[in-house]
Amino acid sequence: MTLILGLDPSLSCTGWGVIRVDGSRIAHVANGQAPTAAKAPMAERLATLQAAIAEVIAAHQPDRAAAEEIFVNKNAQSTLKLAQARGAVLAACGTVGLKVNEHAARLVKKAVVGTGAAEKAQVQAMLKVLLPGVALAGADAADALAVAIADAHLAPR
């Protein structure tokens, strides 16, 4: 049995989701979101994200984590903010020696829905099929669960 922490880093609200993998079976453990205050200083927002993910790791003791690879926006400022948020989240994992696998967004969608061009609504609908009874904390948590499921299928065992 393996516990996987999926992460969807974002400066405004980082999503997280934990699944249990036992052979080819997956089960929902927990999911949530870590929002930051838009008007707070950058250092405070990053510290909030790092602390929130550290808390999730301490509570669930995952065996590994997974995050989407960073993509470059047309807006360089947005890309930089995403990279900083991602750094804070990955630092929380690195601090406790938690291995992090990275997957392209298209691969995550393909692993969960069957097509790399899937819309968010399609991903969320498939999550409800794959994880019966799951109550999603929000869109960011759904994306994080999708990353965890993709990692269960894509990462070497």
151 is catalytic: no
Kindly name the residue from 68, 69, 102, 143 that is annotated as catalytic.
68
Residue 97 gets which letter from DSSP?
A: T
The answer to whether 62 and 3 have CB atoms below 8 angstroms apart is: yes
Q: Which residues are annotated as a binding site?
A: 8, 68, 140
Kindly name the residue from 69, 119, 140, 151 that is annotated as catalytic.
140
Print the SS3 string covering 3-67: EEEEEECCCCEEEEEEEEEECCEEEEEEEEEEECCCCCCHHHHHHHHHHHHHHHHHHHCCCEEEE
Kindly name the residue from 8, 44, 55, 63 that is annotated as catalytic.
8
22 is catalytic: no
Query: Phi and psi at residue 24, in whole multiples of 5°?
Result: -95, 5
Q: Which residues are annotated as a binding site for Mg(2+)?
A: 8, 68, 140
63 is catalytic: no
- Which residue matches tokens 């993910």? 53
Residues tagged active-site: 8, 68, 140
